[in-house]
A and B are shown apart, each in its own frame.
Chain A
């Protein structure tokens, strides 16, 4: 139980996010109306994705420094959950955009960048499955993971700022979000980011643990 306190925290924070995100007072803004609440659910997917992919790339770098099966498993599973968050982020963003920007996909630079970023990560999974030798698979995919992460960050956070974007905080504006300044929204938004990210970490650890069990069973069969 002592080791699992953060799982309790995860559930508590998500419950808080769901309740506060739907019930707390929000600014009444034109076009956005009640949809501003989607900020507590859509945006944390991206924060969560970047954090999970960062954890993944750290494990990949550690793998290259000192190879071990465990580090490779951690890298791939954190990337898996990170990409899941990214897919959910794209879908929720399209739903939100339909009602605020008028269409699900407006070729907004950040939308396109997110799609490209995910494709780069799909290639990571395909690359892994294409390689037979486990050591070669782990090494090459660790290198590719570093490449994928270093592509993702500039296309998501730098390029959209150099042009005009529908996303707040872009188009030359360095702030993360136009609504970031409001303390009432922040009271929900920051816990929401922590909540969804921790949920992603929990999901990743479950996948890592089942994968380790599988590896053990495969080894003992031999």
Chain B
């Protein structure tokens, strides 16, 4: 009985995944030509004059600053927890 159950389970699973495959054909695939398609407008100017690096470094600096803040906050909470633990024992 248990074997039949397992068989049923796997058959459903396989059939389901087959149907996924069938519908999956409709997916829009990305080809190598999409990477070189010059018809589509992209931020090429920012790349060629290097200005994009300015933007990326601004964003990185922001996040570094914020994570430093987060680390300090984390340490403060740890210190408080230690204090609380000590006063609980006392």
The residues of A with any CB-CB pair to B shorter than 8 Å are 4, 7, 11, 14-15, 18-19, 22-23, 25-30, 33-34, 168, 172-175, 178-182, 184-185, 202, 206, 209-210, 212-213, 216-217, 220
Contacting B56 at CB < 8 Å: which of A18, A172, A206?
A18
Q: Are B67 and A14 in contact (CB under 8 A)?
A: yes
Chief secondary structure at chain A's binding surface: helix
Q: Are B24 and A174 in contact (CB under 8 A)?
A: yes
Contacting A181 at CB < 8 Å: which of B29, B38, B52, B84?
B29
24 cross-chain CB contacts under 8 A:
A4-B74, A7-B74, A18-B56, A18-B59, A22-B52, A27-B30, A28-B34, A28-B35, A28-B42, A29-B40, A172-B23, A173-B23, A173-B26, A173-B27, A174-B23, A179-B28, A179-B30, A182-B29, A185-B30, A206-B74, A212-B81, A213-B84, A216-B84, A217-B84
Contacting A34 at CB < 8 Å: which of B42, B56, B70, B74?
B42
A30-B56 CB under 8 A given contacts A175-B27, A209-B81, A213-B84: no
Bound-state CA distance A175–B21 (Å) is 9
The 3 closest A-B CB pairs, nearest first, are: A27-B34, A28-B40, A182-B30
Q: Are A15 and B63 in contact (CB under 8 A)?
A: yes
Q: Point out the residues of chain A lying under 8 angstroms from B29, CB to CB.
A: 181-182
**Measured between C-beta atoms, what is the minimum distance from B30 to chain A in Å?**
4
Bound-state CA distance A18–B38 (Å) is 25
| Mask: chain B, 57-84; 1 = CB below 8 Å from A; 0 = not | 0011001100100110110010011001
Q: With CB as the reference atom, state the residue of chain A lying closest to B24.
A: A175
| Mask: chain B, 26-62; 1 = CB below 8 Å from A; 0 = not | 1111100011111111110000000010011001100
B15 close to chain A: CB less than 8 A: no
**Count of A-B contacts with CB under 8 A?**
87
The residues of B with any CB-CB pair to A shorter than 8 Å are 20, 23-24, 26-30, 34-43, 52, 55-56, 59-60, 63-64, 67, 70-71, 73-74, 77, 80-81, 84, 87-88
Q: Are A202 and B70 in contact (CB under 8 A)?
A: yes
Bound-state CA distance A7–B56 (Å) is 22
Q: Are B84 and A206 in contact (CB under 8 A)?
A: no
Q: Are A19 and B26 in contact (CB under 8 A)?
A: no
Which of A27, A34, A209, A212 has the largest count of B CB atoms less than 10 A from its CB? A27
Q: Are B34 and A29 in contact (CB under 8 A)?
A: yes
A15-B27 CB under 8 A given contacts A22-B55, A28-B34, A33-B40: no
Q: Are A174 and B20 in contact (CB under 8 A)?
A: yes
**Measured between C-beta atoms, what is the minimum distance from B34 to chain A in Å?**
4
Q: Are B27 and A209 in contact (CB under 8 A)?
A: no
Q: Are A7 and B30 in contact (CB under 8 A)?
A: no
Q: Are A7 and B80 in contact (CB under 8 A)?
A: no
Q: Are A210 and B63 in contact (CB under 8 A)?
A: no
Contacting A23 at CB < 8 Å: which of B56, B71, B80, B88?
B56
